[in-house]
Amino acid sequence: MSELTDDAARRAWQGQRSAIDSAGIARTVERRISERRRQTRVFLACAAIIVPGWVAAFVVFPDLRPLSAIGLIVAAVLGWHATRRQHTPSAVVSCAAFQLAVLRRERDFHRSMSTWGLVALLAGQVAIVATLLMIERFEKNAFFAGSLTVFIVTVIAILARAFRRFRKTLSELEQELSALSKRVEA
Partner 1 sequence: MTDTRTGRQALFDEAVDKYGPALQRVVCAYEAAPDRRADVLQEIYLALWQSFEAFDGRCALGTWVYRVAHNTATTVCIRRRDRLRLVTLDDIEPAADPPSFGSAIDDDRARGRLLDLVHRLKPLDRQIVLLYLEGLDAAATGEIVGLSAGNVATKIHRIKKVLADQFHERSRR
Residue 114 beta carbon to partner 1: minimum distance, rounded to whole angstroms: 17
The stretch among 52-60, 89-97, 110-118, 154-162 that binds partner 1 (CB under 8 A) is 89-97
Distance CA 172, CA 114 (A): 14
Q: Binding of partner 1 at residue 32 (CB under 8 A)?
A: yes
Residue 171, SS3?
helix
Q: Binding of partner 1 at residue 20 (CB under 8 A)?
A: yes
Q: Binding of partner 1 at residue 86 (CB under 8 A)?
A: no
Residue 62 beta carbon to partner 1: minimum distance, rounded to whole angstroms: 44
The stretch among 85-93, 121-129, 136-144, 156-164 that binds partner 1 (CB under 8 A) is 85-93
Distance CA 140, CA 103 (A): 49
- Asked whether 73 and 52 are in contact (CB, 8 A), the reply is no
**Exposed e or buried b per residue across 153-176, where buried means at least 16 C-beta atoms within 10 angstroms of its C-beta:** eebeeeeeeebeebeebbeebeee
Q: Residues in the site for partner 1, rule: CB under 8 A?
A: 1-6, 8-16, 18-23, 25-26, 28-29, 32-33, 88, 90-99, 102-103, 106, 172, 180, 183-184, 186
